[in-house]
Structures are given as C-alpha cells and as structure tokens.
Amino acid sequence: MPRAKQPAQSNQTPPSNPTVGNESTGNGNNTHSRSYADATSGKTPQPSQQSNSKLEDMLLKQTTWNINGLAPNKNELEVFMKSNMIDVCLISESHTTSRSRINVPGYSVYLTPHPDGGAHAGAAIIIKNSVKHCLLDPFAAPYLQATSIRVEDRSGFLNLSAIYCPPRHTIKEEMFSDFFKTLGNRFIAGGDWNAKHSHWGSRITVTRGKELKKSIDANHLRSMSTGEPTYWPTDSNKTPDLLDFFITKNICLQNTLIKSSLDGSSDHTPVILILSPIAIPHDSGTDYLHNSKTDWDCFREYLESNIDLKLSLKTNEEVDNASLYITNLIQVAAWTSTLS
C-alpha cells in the first residue's frame, strides 16, 4: 500500500540508467489526504478523515504538456492548472537539473532531468497534495526520461508517468517496451513522444512512430489522443502535427474523456485527460451535460445522496476546492442520469 508523500516540495534525481518503477515512500504521511480509491468508493469519511481532497471524489483530471522549460513558465502553468482544475500535470521538456527546485503552492513537484546533467529535455510531474500518492523510481535514459507516481482508484493501483523522448535518438520497439514494462499492469503515460503515426492522428508516419506502434501492439496497450495537432512550429515552413498523447494499459475507455486545450504560449498545446469512476457519455461532438433523455429525478437523487454539506469554507483555498467539488459532483450526476 503506498504511503502519502509529504505536501512539501520534492525533486528527484534519477540514476544514470533506466530503473524499474519500484515503490518509493516518503518521510511522513499526509494525514489530510484520502486515497483516490477511498475518494471514489462512495464511502463517507469519518470527521477526522475529511479534508479538501473531496474535490477528488469524482474525477481525476490530468494533462500532458510540453512546456519548453518549467522554471521560466511556472507562473503560466499555475494559471493553467487552476483555471482548468487540473489534478495531475505530466510535463515534457522540463529543462531542469539535479539542482533545480520548483515550488508550486498546493502541489508536490517531482523532476527527472536528462541523465547528462544538462538543463534540457527531462520530465516532471506536478500533483495536488490532496491526492494521496507515492513516487516511483525514475526512468532516465538519453532517449527517454520519465517521472512516475502511483495513485489508487476503484480498480486498484494506477501508475501515472510523464515522459519526454528527445527527437534525435533512434528508438527501437524493444527500447519502448523496456520502459513500458517498468510501469506495471495498469498505467497512463503521457507526454511528447516525438513519434508520428497516422494511428494516433499524426499527419504522417515516421520510423519512430512505427516502432512505437509495434511496441504498443506487442504489449497490448492503447494510444489515446485528440487526433488534433499538438505541436505548432514557429517555422512557417513546418506543418503543425500531433506529437503529444497518452499511452495506457488496462484503462476503461468508456471512463475517459480526452480534449485539446489552446492555452499556453509554448509551441506545444496541452492535452487534457479526464478519468471517471463511471462511464462518460460520448456523443457526436457536443459538450452538453444533458439531453432530452436526462432523468432529472435520478440527477436530483444522486446529488442528494452524495453531496457533502459539511465542507469547511474558512479559507480562499477551501472555497475554491469546494467550488470544484460541486462542479465535479454535478458533472458526474449528469453523466449518471443521461443516456447517450
């Protein structure tokens, strides 16, 4: 059972070689956190267990973003995470070193620099302190850097991994597979793979994309993308294309929703993936939460049965968290009560 990491800033220094993602525990427990499993179990916590982690009770909202340097773009990232209610941010091209220290209030930060020690490439994860998690060993090879953590939901342990694959390396199917095997039996890995293939919506298919697709097939994985460009080159002679997406294992597709975001000043745009404890209706291009088939009695009953009216509202952060909790609760109530 993973233990909660302390909410304080934490930066990891990777070994020079890729390592298997074994569980890593912190130096203390976050007594105000509930596991994602507890949050999605439908059980009401005892008063001593209640916390602002109620905002995690319904959805786990994550994003992958090649931010082209974490330190210089930290303020922009904080605004993006707050405005989009992001729980976990998977960062590509963090451009950090073993000496880097990044602080994001309310979040834990984990860094995997490039193994040569330079401030280029690299990956990072930024996760809300209210989400109980543990840090896994980094994967740090010249061709792929990854930061990974473990959370828990109704289906068991779930490993989340932020990756970055620099473009200049030749990566074979076996090399991708070596990495995927470190992530266990259930995972979501997101980032800039620098691998183009029409299967996940890229404009063209290149050799690295073919090798990655072979690895996906051999390991019974699934790629998840929006099918829209995520890379917008500043060179007018280059064409936008899709480079940033998720690769998953044993994730129920019906419980996910993926969408593009046009926020940010990087030459890459974020991709948001929502993981829900229940099936999410997927209709033809509309973002409406309800339709003519919505059972409003069921909607009302769901809210009355699940809403927590004892949330503390003493600080600005608690008010923000409560607002997010209500928004998520209404969203899931609508999905539960609406036939697709």
* pLDDT at residue 92 greater than cutoff 80: yes
Q: Is the pLDDT of residue 325 over 90?
A: no
pLDDT given for residue 242 in this prediction: 96
Strands 134-136 and 23-24: antiparallel
Lowest mean pLDDT among 35-49, 50-64, 81-95, 209-223: 35-49
Query: Is 275's pLDDT higher than 90?
Result: yes
Q: Tens digits of per-residue pLDDT, 103-136? A: 999 999 999 999 999 999 999 999 999 899 999 9
In the predicted model, what is the mean pLDDT of residues 218-243? 93
- For residue 25, the model assigns a pLDDT of 31
Residue 238's Cβ-side half-sphere holds a number of Cα atoms within 13 Å equal to 10
pLDDT of residue 337: 78
> Which residue, among 302, 311, 295, has the nearest Cα to 42 in the 3D structure?
302
Please tell me the predicted confidence (pLDDT) of residue 299: 84
Q: Is the pLDDT of residue 179 over 50?
A: yes
Which of 121, 66, 73 has the alpha carbon at shortest distance from 97?
121
Confidence at residue 139, expressed as pLDDT on a 0 to 100 scale: 98
- Tell me which of 103 and 22 has the higher pLDDT: 103
Q: Which helix (H) or strand (E) holds 108?
A: strand 107-112
Confidence band of 144 (pLDDT split at 50, 70, 90): very high
Q: Which of 22-31, 184-193, 282-291 has the lowest mean pLDDT?
A: 22-31
Position 34 pLDDT exceeds 70: no
pLDDT > 70? residue 9: no
221: left (phi over 0), alpha (psi -120 to 50) or beta: beta
Please report the pLDDT score of residue 282 as a whole number.
Answer: 65
Predicted confidence (pLDDT) at residue 51 exceeds the cutoff of 70: no
Q: Average pLDDT, stretch 309-327?
A: 81
- Predicted confidence (pLDDT) at residue 143 exceeds the cutoff of 70: yes
Q: Which of 72-81, 91-100, 269-278, 321-330 has the lowest mean pLDDT?
A: 321-330
Average pLDDT over residues 35-41: 42
On the question of pLDDT at 22 being above 50, the answer is no
Give yes or no for a contact between 332 and 59, defined as CB atoms under 8 angstroms apart. yes
Q: Which amino acid is at 279?
A: A
